[in-house]
Amino acid sequence: MGGNTMAGALVRLRVQQFAKIAASKDWNTTTSAAKAIGCEVSTLSRILRGERACGGEFIANLLVAAKPWDFNDLFEVETGDEPVSA
């Protein structure tokens, strides 16, 4: 297989943007936001504190709950410094 991929890529929530979106959706607490997103309060809390990266299910659920905002509004991708050949 050819091509380059990045090692250690993680998807992180744009916390400040999330706060603006949450306010616009009347998600006034972490509990109400987690309920709207369909995740555990503890999961959302860890993501908001930067202690956990976003998994696929969280990303998909937040994209549905936060419409009309899209992936680039909500998330950023952190990549490793060195590309890895795949």
pLDDT score of 8: 81
Q: What is the DSSP string of 10-42?
A: EEEE-HHHHHHHHHHTT--SHHHHHHHHTS-HH
Q: How do residues 27-62 score in pLDDT, each as one tens digit?
A: 999 999 999 999 999 999 999 999 999 999 999 999
Q: What amino acid occupies position 69?
A: W
> Cβ of 47: how many Cβ atoms within 10 Å?
23
Q: Are 45 and 30 spatial neighbours (Cβ–Cβ below 8 Å)?
A: yes
Residue range 60-73: mean pLDDT, rounded: 96
Query: In the prediction, which pLDDT does 84 show?
Result: 38
Ordered by where they begin, the domains of the chain are 8-69 (1.10.260)
pTM to 2 decimal places: 0.80
